[in-house]
Amino acid sequence: MALTFKGGTHPHGNKHFTQGKAIQVLPPPELIAIPLSQHIGAPGKALVKKGDTVKKGQVLSESQGFVSIPVHSSVSGKVKDIKPWPHFLGSTSETILIENDGEDSPAEQITHPDWSALSPDDIRRIAREAGLAGMGGAAFPTVVKLSPPAGKIIDTVILNGAECEPYLTADHRLMLEYPDDIIEGIKMILFTLGVKRALIGIEKNKPDAIKLLTEKTANINEIKVVGVKVKYPQGAEKQLIDAITGRKVPSGGLPFDIGCYVQNVGTAKSLYDAVVKGIPLIERVVTVTGKTLRNPQNFLVRIGTPIKHLIEACDGTTEPIGKIIMGGPMMGIAQSSDEVPVVKGTSGILVFSRKEADLPQEKPCISCAHCVDVCPIKLLPSTLASLIENARFEEAEEYRLFDCMECGSCTFVCPSKRRILHYIKWGKDEVIKSRKKK
Amino acid sequence: MADNKLAVAVSPHVREDISIRKIMFGVLLALLPALAGSVYFYGIKALWLSLIGVASALAAEAIFQLIRGVHIDVTDGSAAITGLLLAFNLPPDVPYWMPVIGAFVGIMIGKQLFGGLGRNILNPALVGRAFLMASWPVDMTTKWIVPRFGTLSGIDTVTSATPLNVFKSMQSVIANPEATAVELGNAQQTLQQLGSNWSNMFFGNIGGCLGETSAVLLLIGGIYLLIKNYADWRIPLSYIGSVALLSWAFMGSNGLFSGAVPFHIFSGGLMLGAFFMATDMVTTPITPRGRWIFGIGCGIFTFVIRKWGGYPEGVSYSILLMNIAAPLIDRYTKPRVLGYHKKPKEEKKAE
């Protein structure tokens, strides 16, 4: 039996649009927009001002606090402005706009072709200075994960190559095209944490990646490749840990509470790039896909490239665009503007036609309990939704509202097309607001 | 491209290809083999009663939606199921007006008064049946039709009653202290025959309500429902399983564990009830443990009514009783949320 977790669902993979397409380098556009806030944690403070000349890879912001990392310029050129700009979380956010001079003249890079002389703290410092963040979507600062609190003993490092979101193939391509970089990055993580075991979890719909990485790690005792069942949300942190180790992260806890450390395969590669090549996180692989795109692609994109350039680079669409989603179709965020730039956590851009963007009509709940069956957290999503719909937020909290990880499986399977996750997010928001009032 | 043309919505942005209509029409499809069997064994009247039941339920749904001032839509298939199930719960020779009244009562009192689809507490078809049973008990318990190739009871020695009726009356003979030795012997022999001649019951060559006649045809439909995930497997399994266990233990005439299990699970409305009425999504618990409890509860009530009740059959009342308990069952069977090993202390205090 394939390794997996309880619950979950099986959306159409739709990975065929891009999974066979090698990563293409997308030339940076004339205008790059780098938001100061790209990750969980405090936004940085700008270190440059309007009119300044910047180099490719130059640090643009100062981190503020522990859970904070700097951003870097992904091109060389001139700071055109620092102003509110469309942001992937909706509305606008303080963003540094850079006019690309097309030269790509690099800032000073400190390389370590042989990193064996470095200490764990050196690697943590490089991870912070290079602005490394989780590439899977949430963009959690890597340095924070690499610095577990004293007393937490980690015995297993899990590399997340599950890529359970439909449509997305960025991690898949990365594993096929940069396996050596990823493996070297994993070694760095093991070294930094002082751990002897790393498991690379890959969904079984990527047999070529499983095969390649298994071959590449055949002579490395510490690293093993594990095929996991194709099921959504197999790539969610807690579900992947459960599938591979059988351990359950306690409610409100983090993986290191049960001795685990989870990192996306893309992050391992960016750690390698930062340490060995001295390149900060200024570019990443983004799957640009959708039925309506003429030529869907996996692009190596500079951070700060507005979405519209990615869509143009796919030769546009055959039908008018109805929806642009940053991320996958299950957890991605619908964008209100195509000026929104790619950020560190952007794994994909999914483009829907108007027809695909149509919301189905909501019908009454018929208590079929399909949502209960698929919930990977074992919540009662339909009950939560109806409590919140009736503004009974405190009762919803008793039904463990805040344990919801927002994977959307409940909403996906609902035959009544109820917007269960919509209600859940709204309920969380209301509860947080009322807590602040107190 | 103008930005205001982009749709924004909370994820997920894709949905499974499933709908209420798809589920309901799946259930209707699953009921068709049993309907065909009914027409085969009892004649064309079974079809007319079914069609009248469905048409009345659709009409009742539309009328009460009109009265309530809500959007009129009877195409989701739920009212059609109510009408068909109601007809399935009638003896095959009742007058044609009975499904009309049953469907109107079921839809009005059982469903629309609570707020329509998804809001009802009781299975509407069973509400209609209970009303007819209380109002016209003679029609509801005597209007049987002898099946095409057999007898009402499925055995040749007794021809005047359905299997469960025969079982009930023989049990009362045995329980009667004034029964003569001959009467007792006959009763024992009849029970023996009933218990061993269950193949007629399995295929449907017996008397009974319109839709409950053929266990095998109901099973075919039921298994289809389970495969398509239109019904939860826990309920039929625990319901039929508990009836089988209790009947085996306590229904035999030779002491404990001598009951004829096939007779008890294939007779009466158990197959129809367990696969098609106890699995009604709206009126059953949503938690996995709750669905086990629901099925077992239905099984216990069915057994109790068959053993000690005034009626020979207890499937519909069992399900109605458990329908009432469903919200309470849900409240006490919340699944343990991932990441909680024990109940946190503050919650214990709250309870």
Report domain extents, chain A: 115-277, 370-437
Average of per-residue pLDDT across A62-68: 77
Type of residue at A143:
V
Residue type, A39: H
State residue B344's pLDDT score: 45
- Using a CB-CB distance cutoff of 8 angstroms, which residues of chain B are in contact with residue A355? none
**A177-198 pLDDT per residue, tens:** 999 999 999 999 999 999 999 9
Sign for the CA dihedral angle at A58, A62, A66, A71 comes to negative
Residue A361 to residues A354, A411, A414, Cα–Cα distance (Å): 15, 13, 12
ipTM of the complex: 0.90
Report the gap between the CA of A122 and the closest CA in chain B (Å). 35
Cα(B150)–Cα(B27) distance, rounded to whole angstroms?
Answer: 30
| pLDDT reading at A260 higher than 90 | yes
> Which member of A253, A366, A378 has the closest CB to residue B118?
A366
- Provide the shortest C-alpha distance from residue A242 to chain B (in Å): 10
- CB-based contact B340 A251, cutoff 8 Å: yes
Q: Which residue has the tokens 């919200």?
A: B327
**Beta strand A348-353 with A321-326: parallel, antiparallel or unpaired?**
antiparallel
Residue carrying structure tokens 């409100």: A252
CB B299 within 8 A of CB B243: yes
Enumerate residues 6+ apart whose C-beta is below 8 A from A117. none
Distance (Å, whole) CA A32 – CA A74: 8
Residue A40: which pLDDT band, with cuts at 50, 70 and 90? low
Taking CB atoms and an 8 Å limit, are B334 and A399 in contact across chains? yes
Task: Choose, out of A251, A362, A366, the residue to mutate when testing the contact with B (most B CBs < 10 Å).
Answer: A366
Q: What pLDDT, on a 0 to 100 scale, did the predictor assign at position B340? A: 84
Query: Quick one: closest CA in B to A398, which residue?
Result: B347
Q: What is the pLDDT, as a whole number, of residue B264? A: 92
In 3-state terms, what secondary structure has residue B177?
coil
Inter-CA distances, A294 with A289, A311, A319, B2, B51, Å: 9, 9, 10, 20, 51
- Judged against a pLDDT cut of 90, whether residue A32 lies above it is answered with yes
What residue has token string 């109790």?
A: B304
Note whether B19 contacts A417, CB cutoff 8 Å. yes
* Residue-averaged pLDDT of chain B: 91
Asked whether B298 and B326 are in contact (CB, 8 A), the reply is: no
For an interface test with A, which of B3, B4, B13 has the most A Cβ atoms less than 10 Å from its Cβ?
A: B13
DSSP B280-297: -GGGS-SSHHHHHHHHHH
Q: Is the CB of B119 inside 8 Å of chain A's CB atoms?
A: yes
Instruction: Say which of A252, A363, A382 has its CB closest to residue B286.
Output: A382
Cα-to-chain-centroid distance, residue A89: 13
Query: Residue A338 — very low, low, confident or very high, per pLDDT cuts 50/70/90?
Result: very high
pLDDT in tens, A411-420: 999 999 999 9
The pLDDT assigned to B253 comes to 79
Residue with tokens 């370590």: A112
Mean pLDDT across B143-151: 87
What H or E segment, with its residue span, contains residue B246?
helix B234-250
Instruction: Provide the pLDDT confidence category of residue B177 given band limits of 50, 70 and 90.
Output: confident
Span A59-86, average pLDDT: 90
Tens of pLDDT, residue by residue over B260-305, are 899 999 988 999 999 999 999 999 999 999 999 999 999 999 999 9
Identify the CA nearest to B318 among candidates B283, B288, B286, B289: B283
A–B CB contacts, 8 A cutoff, strictly below: 175
How many Cβ atoms sit within 10 Å of the Cβ of residue A258? Answer: 20
Rounded to the nearest 5 degrees, what angle is found at the Cα of A108, between the Cα atoms of A107 and A112?
A: 130
Contacts of A327 in chain B (CB under 8 A): 11
pLDDT of B350: 39
Q: Inter-chain contact A332–B11, Cβ cutoff 8 Å?
A: yes
CB–CB contact B286 A335 (8 Å) = no
Range with the poorest average pLDDT among A205-219, B18-32, B251-265, B291-305: B251-265
* pLDDT reported for residue A41: 67
Please state the rounded mean pLDDT for residues A291-311.
96
- B14 shares contact with chain A (CB less than 8 Å): yes
Q: How far is CA B312 from CA A401, B34, B46, B134, B165, in A?
A: 47, 22, 22, 15, 6
* B104: pLDDT strictly greater than 50: yes
pLDDT at residue B1, as a whole number: 45
Q: Fill in the DSSP letter of residue A333.
A: E
Is the CB of A421 less than 8 angstroms away from the CB of B11?
Answer: yes
Listing DSSP states for A132-198 in one string gives -B-TTTT--BHHHHTSPPTTPPP-EEEEEE---SSS--HHHHHHHH-HHHHHHHHHHHHHHHT-S-E
**Average pLDDT of the residues in A330-340:** 95
Q: Within a 13 Å sphere around the CA of B51, how many CA atoms are in the beta-carbon half?
A: 7
Residue corresponding to tokens 């979950």: A8
Segments making up each domain of chain B, as ranges: 20-142, 174-208+228-330
**Selecting from 3.20.20.105, 3.40.50.11540, 1.10.645.10, 3.40.50.300, what CATH number does the domain A115-277 have?**
3.40.50.11540
Of the candidates A61, A84, A57, the one whose C-alpha atom is nearest the C-alpha of residue A73 is: A57
Residue B347 has pLDDT above 50, yes or no: no
Output DSSP code: residue A327: S
Q: What residues of B are in contact with residue A414 (Cβ under 8 Å)?
A: 15-16
CA-closest candidate to residue B90, choices B209, B246, B190: B209
CB contact under 8 A, B117 and A364: yes
Pick from A248-257, A260-269, A364-373, B97-106: least confident:
A248-257
Residues of A in contact with B336 (CB under 8 A): 378
Q: Which helix (H) or strand (E) holds A322?
A: strand A321-326
**Does residue A250 register a pLDDT over 70?**
yes
Average pLDDT of the segment spanning A50-78: 90
pLDDT band for position A256 (cuts 50, 70, 90): very high
Closest C-alpha to A244, from A202, A215, A277, A283: A202
Note the pLDDT of residue B342.
Answer: 54
Token pair of A19 as six digits = 């999974």
CB B303 within 8 A of CB B252: no
Task: Retrieve residue A193's tokens.
Answer: 């944490």
The per-residue pLDDT of chain A, averaged, comes to 93
How many CB atoms are closer than 10 A to CB A39?
25
pLDDT of residue B5: 78
Q: Which residues of A touch B1 (CB under 8 A)?
A: 320-321, 338
- pLDDT bucket at A401, cuts 50 / 70 / 90: very high
**B75 interfacial to chain A (CB closer than 8 Å):** no
B11·A331 Cβ contact <8 A? yes
Name the residue with tokens 């009951």: B259
Contact present, A240 and A160 (Cβ < 8 Å): yes
Q: What is the pLDDT of residue A1?
A: 55
Model pLDDT for residues A118-156, shown as the tens digit of each residue: 999 999 999 999 999 988 777 888 998 999 998 889 999
Reported as a single tens digit per residue, the pLDDT across B34-52 is 999 999 999 999 999 999 9
Q: Is the pLDDT of residue A70 over 50?
A: yes
Residue A314 has φ and ψ, to the nearest 5°, of -95, 20
Reduced to 3 states (helix: H, G, I; strand: E, B; else coil), residue B201 is helix
Residues of chain B with C-beta less than 8 angstroms from the C-beta of A415: 18-20, 22-23
Distance separating alpha carbons of residues A268 and A259, to the nearest angstrom: 19
